[in-house]
């Protein structure tokens, strides 16, 4: 079972370490991940029974919610743990982002593995290297189907 733990200043060191080990995020300034402004809904960690699995940030961006994730490095967090956490956490993220103005959740990625996995969760192509999960009943059913298959 996974749980959310809100980020605190004392967890910046772990996030910084994870970012430096990530080939896709290693050049991103840590402040972009951690600083909170009026558009930020939440910055938090996802823990499973073993420990931290991923860090995420949700921001209001126009009529959508922007999801930014930093996964634990594979030498600390296996892909299986990452996939399990995403499957369990995603419906909770949908609940967190269910504000009337929001039309969906968007994320950016160039990782073919992550893109393929998230498409199984109901995300669709949106813009170049960006993907959207639209808040519609058929999309929520896609999430439920994936969860029932136990990827």
Under 8 Å CB-to-CB from 73, ≥6 apart: which residues?
A: 18, 21, 22
pLDDT of residue 151: 43
Contact between 7 and 34 (Cβ < 8 Å)? yes
CA–CA gap between residue 6 and residue 56 (Å, rounded): 10
Label residue 77 by pLDDT band (50, 70, 90).
Answer: very high
Average pLDDT, the chain: 84
Domains of the chain: 3-149 (3.40.630.30)
Confidence grade of residue 39 (pLDDT, cut at 50, 70, 90):
confident
Provide the pLDDT for residue 135: 83
- Mean pLDDT, range 104-118, rounded to an integer: 93
What is the pLDDT at residue 98? 67
Strand positions, DSSP E, 27-84: 40-47, 52-61, 64-71
Q: What confidence tier does 42 reach under pLDDT thresholds 50, 70, 90? A: confident
Q: Where are the alpha helices (DSSP H) in 1-151?
A: 12-20, 30-34, 79-96, 112-120, 137-149
For 79, the enclosing helix (H) or strand (E) is helix 79-96
**Tens-place pLDDT, residues 49-60:** 999 999 998 998
Residue with the bigger pLDDT between 139 and 57: it is 57
Q: What is the pLDDT of residue 95?
A: 76
Q: Is the pLDDT of residue 75 over 90?
A: yes
140's tokens: 């929520």
């Amino acid at each position: 079972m996974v749980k959310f733990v809100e980020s605190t200043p004392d967890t910046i060191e772990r996030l910084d370490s994870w970012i430096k080990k990530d080939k896709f995020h290693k050049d991103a300034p840590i402040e972009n991940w951690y600083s909170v402004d009026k558009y930020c809904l939440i910055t938090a960690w996802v823990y499973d029974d073993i420990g931290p699995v991923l860090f995420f940030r949700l921001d209001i961006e126009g009529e959508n919610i922007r999801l930014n994730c930093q996964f634990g490095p594979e030498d600390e967090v296996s892909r299986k743990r990452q996939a399990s956490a995403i499957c369990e956490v995603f419906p909770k993220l949908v609940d967190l982002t269910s504000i009337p103005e929001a039309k969906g959740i968007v994320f950016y990625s160039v990782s073919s593995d992550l893109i393929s996995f998230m498409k199984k969760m109901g995300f669709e192509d949106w813009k170049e290297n960006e993907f959207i999960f639209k808040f519609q009943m058929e999309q929520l059913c896609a999430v439920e189907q994936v969860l029932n298959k136990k990827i």
